[in-house]
Amino acid sequence: MPARLSERNRDKIITRILRTVRENRTFFLAGHEKPDGDTIGSELALASLLRRWKKQADIYNSEPVPKNLRFLPGAEAIRSARRVDKAYDVAIILECSGPERMGNIIDLKSQAKTVINIDHHAHHATFGHINLIDAQASSNSELLYYFFQHAELKLSRDEAMCLYVGLVTDTGRFQQVNTNARSHEVAAGLHRVGIDVSDITRRLYNTRTESSLKLLGRAMGSLRLEFQGRVAVISLTQRDFIETSSGPEETEEFINYGLMVPSVQVALFVRETEIAGKMKVSFRGKGLVDVLRVAVAYGGGGHKNAAGCTVDGNLENTVQSVLSRLQKILPA
């Protein structure tokens, strides 16, 4: 298990980052492809901090904000682009193992004087001029919570809501192994700001469109068990998306249904993308099963029990390829 970044070293790096913020004017913020709750939540909270200091902060991702996260305050200002041409004083890259993980939407060498890399994944890289990496932190939102403390800025309710969404989604509602004492302490601090947790939960998890429910039916219909019930496989084709008038962003949480089967140790979700021959693969594991090892073998990343990657091939060949790798890491 990666060593936890000590509080002393974490605080030193945050102090350096905040000094860099104060000394510069224009900022570019981006997260990984297929942005999730932690990506969007941490981007919005950090941009709010920058603007409170009268800085220009532009947020770009390679893909749009998922529908279930558009309720977050400020989400409408996040832009999606394949390429950004502007130059900035500082680029802050969140949750990316490298520029390719954000879709290479900006050239960090020529379009940013300073690059700040903030990440909490076990599979990471130190590509920034300043790198804040804590692989034992539950989320980037947990790390950004400390920015406000060091900046001596009282969190607004909107900022706290964004950080809470990042925290609760990346810990799987505080159920995954990356949940720890600090993540609960941060959650308590966000509660004290006065966020409406019941409303956030309803919007994130208890609200579904008709098309999403129809797509869920297709996904559950595809469910099959492998290796004596230890692996659950869920899959969706482009035809499933077309016939239910739905999109990939509506598949959030689908993979977790596979873990509900008592015998299942790993849930695997494979879906066809809009690009022929490109499959998106998601993993969820229980206990000691390190699905990150398999995701990294395909150029992906994530956490020990929650990871993902993109694989070349058709749907069934991809499933078989991934299953053969998973078989090697399943406990005897």
User: What is the per-residue pLDDT across 221-252, written as a single tens digit (0 to 9) for each?
Assistant: 999 999 999 999 999 999 999 999 999 988 98
Average pLDDT over residues 141-148: 96
Query: What is the structure's pLDDT at 125?
Result: 85
Angstrom distance (rounded) from CA 91 to CA 328: 40
pLDDT at 172: 87
- In percent, how much of the chain has pLDDT > 90? 83
The more confidently predicted of residues 178 and 15 is 15
CA-based nearest residue to 183, from 138, 124, 221, 228: 138
pLDDT at 303: 82
pLDDT-based confidence at residue 162 (cuts at 50, 70, 90): very high
More confident residue, 72 or 302: 72
Pick the CATH number of 7-204 from 3.40.50.1000, 3.90.1640.10, 3.40.630.30, 2.60.15.10: 3.90.1640.10
Output Rg (C-alpha) for the chain, integer angstroms: 19
Q: What is the mean pLDDT of residues 121-150?
A: 93
| Two domains, one topology: 7-204 and 210-329 | no
Residue 189 has pLDDT above 60, yes or no: yes
* pLDDT, position 177: 80
CB neighbourhood size of 128 (10 A) = 21
3-state secondary structure the chain: CCCCCCHHHHHHHHHHHHHHHHHCCEEEEECCCCCCHHHHHHHHHHHHHHHHCCCEEEEEECCCCCHHHCCCCCHHHCEECCCCCCCEEEEEEECCCCHHHHCCCCCHHHHEEEEEEEECCCCCCCCCCEEEECCCCCCHHHHHHHHHHHHCCCCCHHHHHHHHHHHHHHCCCCCCCCCCHHHHHHHHHHHHHCCCHHHHHHHHHCCCCHHHHHHHHHHHHHCEEECCCCEEEEEECHHHHHHCCCCHHHHCCHHHHHHHCCCCCEEEEEEECCCCCEEEEEEEECCCCCCHHHHHHCCCEECCCEEEEEEECCHHHHHHHHHHHHHHHCCC
Give residue 161's pLDDT: 98
pLDDT at 75 over 90: yes
| pLDDT, tens digit (0-9, with 9 covering 90-100), for 250-292 | 898 899 999 999 999 999 999 999 999 999 999 999 878 999 9
Mean pLDDT of the chain: 94
What pLDDT does 215 receive? 97
Residue 15: pLDDT band (50, 70, 90) is very high
According to the model, what pLDDT value does residue 95 have?
93
Q: What is the mean pLDDT of residues 179-200?
A: 96
Q: Which pTM does this prediction carry? A: 0.85
pLDDT tens string 95-130: 998 889 899 999 999 999 999 999 998 778 899 999
CB 138 within 8 A of CB 66: no
**pLDDT confidence tier of residue 2, bands split at 50, 70 and 90:** low
As a whole number of angstroms, the distance between CA 37 and CA 66 comes to 9
Domain residue spans in the chain?
A: 7-204, 210-329
Residue 175 has pLDDT above 80, yes or no: yes
In the structure, what pLDDT confidence band is assigned to residue 3 with cuts at 50, 70 and 90?
low
Residue 81 has pLDDT above 60, yes or no: yes
Mean pLDDT of 20-48: 96
CATH 3.10.310.30 corresponds to the domain 210-329: yes
Instruction: Report whether pLDDT(1) > 60.
Output: no
**What's the pLDDT score for residue 265?**
95
Looking at residue 287, what is its pLDDT?
79
How would residue 178 be classed by pLDDT, with cut points 50, 70 and 90? confident
